[in-house]
Amino acid sequence: MKIAVLSPIAWRTPPRHYGPWEQIASNLTEGLVARGIEVTLFATADSLTTGVLEAVCPRGYEEDRSLDAKAWECLHIAHLMEQADRFDLIHNHFDFLPLSYSRLIKPPMLTTIHGFSSPAILPVFERYDGKVHYVSISNADRSPRLRYIATVYHGLQVEGFTFRAQPGNYLLFFGRIHQDKGTWEAIQIARRAGMRLLLSGIIQDRDYFEARIKPLIDGRQVEYLGPSGPAERDRLLGEAFALLHPINFAEPFGLSVVESMLCGTPVVAFCRGSMPELIAPGTSGFLVDTIEDAVEALQRVGTIDRRACRRWAEERFSAERMVEDYLKVYRRILS
């Protein structure tokens, strides 16, 4: 079985700090290679893999703003499609653009839909539904207008997250600084709970940050750390009392939620999108609807067994489980 994995090129694969789609493409590639599958990863030239790396784009365009995103995306996708006949199956993690090649190439294409940036892109998925196989990353993120071959939850390298039995005394917000992610809500929760809050993540919406977040950062109760790489992420998550995830949108998945639980740190999240599929109330965190509910839930976080929280995530969201689920999908398509 020869598989081509098409990763995005906004960031390196695997990412240095932020880049969830690139992270999953990497975890899948490395897991498949470990299972003896012949995998070629199409990613940026500075990417790291134990498989075969194919690249035309030198670096992620979010890491080097001199690169024109559309131009390099065009070249990147075409680089794979022009040699598509080398592979038994193409696994697309690059959203909707590669779908337009699906009737021009011989091997089947599987597309993991990492979420819909807008309903406006759905016509592209609809046009190629039936020609391309679709995987959803949660049941909550399925569109009734599309057919899916499976739901495959994201999987993480469990060994990359250190279990810590003893919690720290701070709350953590870990994710992009954006209205969707509820950064402002996290600050309100921490303030009302009288607890210190650390913020870590890229600033995706500069206007939102300047107007609503920056004025509330005092360096004492609320501190912004910037984006964090794997080692710092592991420490921040593991030493937190709880992760706050008060999202304002129907999030398709939520890697930071799973990362936190793998460290044994419970998550207090707004009950939207995929959160009921990721969090077991009372075991790995709490699902709430309002800021006030979140403050109340923090009073119950201490009742959670952090080891049971870790087990919940290990059993459901490991890279090994994800790889096995995708192999089942591959075999079904190729049969």
Partners of residue 25 on adjacent β-strands: none
- Domain of residue 49: give its range: 2-155+318-334
Angle at 17 between CA 307 and CA 256, to 5 degrees: 35
Q: Which of 57-61, 228-232, 295-299 has the lowest mean pLDDT?
A: 228-232
Q: Domain of 136: which CATH number? A: 3.40.50.2000
Nearest CA-CA partner of 298 in 176, 163, 197: 197
Residues 121 and 169 in one domain: no
Tell me the C-alpha to C-alpha distance, in Å, between residue 214 and each of 174, 176, 181, 196, 219.
16, 14, 16, 16, 10
Residues 172 and 135 in one domain: no
The total number of structural domains that make up the chain:
2
pLDDT digits (tens, 9 = 90+) for 118-177: 899 999 999 999 999 999 999 999 999 999 999 999 999 999 999 999 999 999 999 999
Reduced to 3 states (helix: H, G, I; strand: E, B; else coil), residue 122 is helix
Reduced to 3 states (helix: H, G, I; strand: E, B; else coil), residue 259 is helix
| CB contact at 8 A, 24 and 253 | no
Residues 14 and 141 in one domain: yes
Residues 83 and 14 in one domain: yes
pLDDT digits (tens, 9 = 90+) for 13-45: 999 988 999 999 999 999 999 999 999 999 999
Predicted pLDDT of residue 18: 87
Partners of residue 200 on adjacent β-strands: 174
Q: Which residue has the tokens 């091997």?
A: 107
d(CA 327, CA 103): 23
Predicted pLDDT of residue 117: 87
Helix orientation angle between 230-238 and 255-262, rounded to the nearest 10 degrees: 60
Residues 312 and 270 in one domain: yes
Residues 149 and 22 in one domain: yes
Tell me the C-alpha to C-alpha distance, in Å, between residue 335 and each of 65, 238, 300, 330.
43, 43, 50, 8
Residues 7 and 149 in one domain: yes
| CB contact at 8 A, 63 and 9 | no
pLDDT digits (tens, 9 = 90+) for 216-270: 999 999 999 999 999 999 999 999 999 999 999 999 999 999 999 999 999 999 9
CB burial of residue 82 (10 Å; 0-12, 13-18, 19+)? exposed
Residues 205 and 236 in one domain: yes
Residues 173 and 297 in one domain: yes
Residues 119 and 32 in one domain: yes
Residues 134 and 164 in one domain: no
Residues 232 and 303 in one domain: yes
d(CA 226, CA 205): 14
pLDDT digits (tens, 9 = 90+) for 103-122: 999 999 999 999 998 899 99
